[in-house]
Amino acid sequence: MMHTAVGWHVELEFLEDDQHTRAAALVRLPDGTEVRAHGHATRHLIDANQPRVGEEIAGARALNELAMHLLTKAHDEIDAESGRISHSINV
């Protein structure tokens, strides 16, 4: 059996102010497609201003959405190849 090493690089970018953090995630797949997703975090007024925490929350939400897009893409590809509706792919 031959093993092939494959890697993906996920990019995360953040836009933030004192109250909000927005994250954008992007992965370029070997088939040439780009999958994008977004996440958001809002600081409660009584919480300390901790930009890193906002990035972690918004980033996690963007990555979670990215994962769901990838699962949907895989599911659609299985259906297209098989010509039938397959079972849902669970996380």
For 51-60, write each residue's pLDDT tens digit: 899 999 999 9
Burial class of 25 by CB neighbour count within 10 A (0 to 12, 13 to 18, 19+):
buried
Read off the DSSP letter of residue 83.
T
Lowest mean pLDDT among 9-13, 14-18, 43-47: 43-47
Q: Which amino acid is at 29?
A: L
Give the pTM: 0.84
Mean pLDDT of 35-55: 93
Q: What are phi and psi of 88, to 5 degrees?
A: -60, 145
Whole-number average pLDDT of the chain: 91
User: How many whole angstroms separate alpha carbon 86 and alpha carbon 91?
Assistant: 15
Which residue in this structure is represented by tokens 């780009």?
Answer: 34
